[in-house]
Structure 1
Amino acid sequence: MLQLQAIREDKEAMVSALQKRGIDARTLLDNVLGLDEKRRAVQTQLDTVLAESNRLSKEIGICYKSGKPQEANVLKEKTADLKEDSKKLGEDLNHVAKELQDLLYQIPNVPHESVPSGNTDEDNEEVFKEGDIPKLNQEALPHWELAKKYDIIDFELGVKIAGAGFPVYKGKGARLQRALISYFLDKNTEAGYTEIQVPHLVNEASGYGTGQLPDKEGQMYHITADDLYLIPTAEVPVTNIFRDVMLNGADFPIQYTGYTPCFRREAGSYGAHVRGLNRLHQFDKVEIVRVEHPSNSYKALDKMVEHVKSILRDLKLPYRILRLCGGDLGFTSALTYDFEVFSTAQDRWLEISSVSNFETYQANRLKLRFKDENGKSTLAHTLNGSALALPRVLAGIIENYQTPEGIKIPEVLVPYCGFDSIK
């Protein structure tokens, strides 16, 4: 959530920056400032009424001590009127404050100055590419055909049990899935991230804290009886550990990693680009989350990018990195780098990680602050990234490592799998 003080001080700069997202935010920001002025005016009125009420209460006490009960009774009638006024003003204040909060929730984060303008993924900027794209034989198959051929993933069985987008991993497919999770967690902990296990359900406050609500409400599974949401990513419960928390400057950097299943209702389109593992309702992901001092958050973002690079180098998968344009940027992000692995059998790039800096946007919603060296309360910066999302990584491995004899296993995963090929 954008900070009110920043809007007051830099409204024109924000209007200009948000145009990168294809948004004309002038009216929204003007409405925010108008409501803020109204809120402050009502607060001033309320403070005045409460101060007058306190003053009269003291006078009433003096009147009784001085033997002037009639004067005291007159003053008591005035305080009763003031009490009604303060009650009404308090209700007005709460109403305006909620209206202001709801409006602020509708405004996305301001893009970082390096974010390119644009409206679609075609406007994203490729900033890095690495790895050789393997040359497959003419009989090479996409991963959904390989999964069926080697009986390692059963999509039809998943449909029977739950519906489309809920695959069943079998035999060596399940072991490979487990190997990837363990390998990702080990890589992350070796890099200084503390492993953590978190709930797979969150409350509404957590959804608002990290920005999934109200923006992505339709993409989340909602358990109405308990008013809980299945998590779309571990980012939500891990980052909400710090909701309503006051840190010290010495606490930075804070680095967590965690594995969770993820649940998303978003799959709704059809075609080869969403077949198999390309888009699922339930999938596994290992996440990295950082809470940083504002002066260090972009250095931390660069470190996260380098860390994900190291994982893909170990897996020997061809990949590229995109700096997302304003129109493709997530609602809460100031800057996002997308990692994509090349699927040779599908002849297309598959997104396998997003690494983002949210600056103070999530921290303002979370009320996540720290005491700086001068003892001043300051909003922290939050960051997160996939390290990595499993479905498309698995698809890339299955497709790029296929041979006429079977599917090879990346060398780094063999100790985790206990086998070096699927035949």
Structure 2
Amino acid sequence: MSDLLWPGDARSGDLCTDAAVLTALLRVESAWLGADLSGLAGPDDLPALAVRAEEGGNPVIPLLALLRSRNAPDGLHRGLTSQDVLDTALVLCLREAAKRIRDDLAAQIATLAELADRHRHTDMAGRTLTQHAIPITFGLKVAGWLQGVLDARDLLAAVDLPIQIGGAAGSLAAVVAIEGSPDLAVARVASTAARLGLPLHQPWHTGRAPFTRFGDALVTCTDAWGRIANDVLTLTRPEIGELSLAAVGGSSAMPNKRNPTLAVLVRRAALAGPPLAATLHTAAASMVDERADGAWHVEWATLRTLARRTVAAGSQTADMLAGLRVDEQRMAATLAAARPGIDAEQRKYADAAAALWTTEPSELDSSVKSPSSSPGRVGARDGNHLADQDHDEPPTGGSARQEPYRGATDEIIDAALARAGEK
């Protein structure tokens, strides 16, 4: 499969392509029948199947006709409906996509954990609302990226993509009639699920939570990657230059260009993902009766597009992070140029602490006294914490050399690293 208008699509390989869907459809029918049907249809049949799918509104109907014309065993599709086969086939395709994404998430987590630890004391200018805020470290910024990727990992791991078999209207009526009892019908579904390696689940004909949850998990991934790409795009601007990428793109007209192409393409995926997930939710909310007219049909291509784009973006993000270059000197220079303004918050609290130091203990309000203070000590504010301070050691004033103002940076990074080590 190729897509000239989605550069990087080739990274997704054959995932969710027509050929992959056909293979999955054959796997579902084979697992239900207990016979291998894979040799009865193949990629050469795809053009005709695609054309004939319009007649019944889905590709299962012409596929069954093709298989029967090629002497498929008796019992083919008996007890099933088209939705059973197509939904379960899509589940098989999406589970393969999820595996690819999990592998890329693991690579990203390893890279980010190493970066956060290595740069835990690499000072830089923190920015809020596009303006200098307070000093931070690059390690803290990376720890924030890492937390987003870990959220994506955990949500994707929690998503359940089960088998979907319910018969014509979700009651397994035909399967019960064939097998002779509800227990035997459920056992037939369970054995089919086991052959396909899928969790067993009650029929979910018009309850589409498995697909909407999966779509949400994919968008959580692209959200996290987009957040990283946005920072990379900002910090690689020539006038900032605190980051750069090992792999850059050129221009058809300007030989001087060194475009951060991977970051651009990751951001593109992050922008495109949410509307696709919204389509899945719109479809889920529009389900009606025991099989929806149109709402079911709109899911298929939407899931394919979202899955392929997420897989490609995951691979691109892993490569982008692996090639990230940090200019510590440029970060330090930017921070130095932002002074003294960027230290305003630190001076504010230092001045407040100095005022406490010069105040007689009897004049202090009880609310600022340290509960554990001993005679000759008062509760003084140090950064973001109340700490005991001796009277003969006044806090650094605004005119003195600025000390690192890092708050709980090390603790935040350590927490992210600990979480990254969890399986």
- For normalisation by structure 1, the TM-score amounts to 0.24
- For normalisation by structure 2, the TM-score amounts to 0.24
Kindly indicate which of the two structures has a greater share of residues assigned to helix: 2
Kindly indicate which of the two structures has a greater share of residues assigned to strand: 1
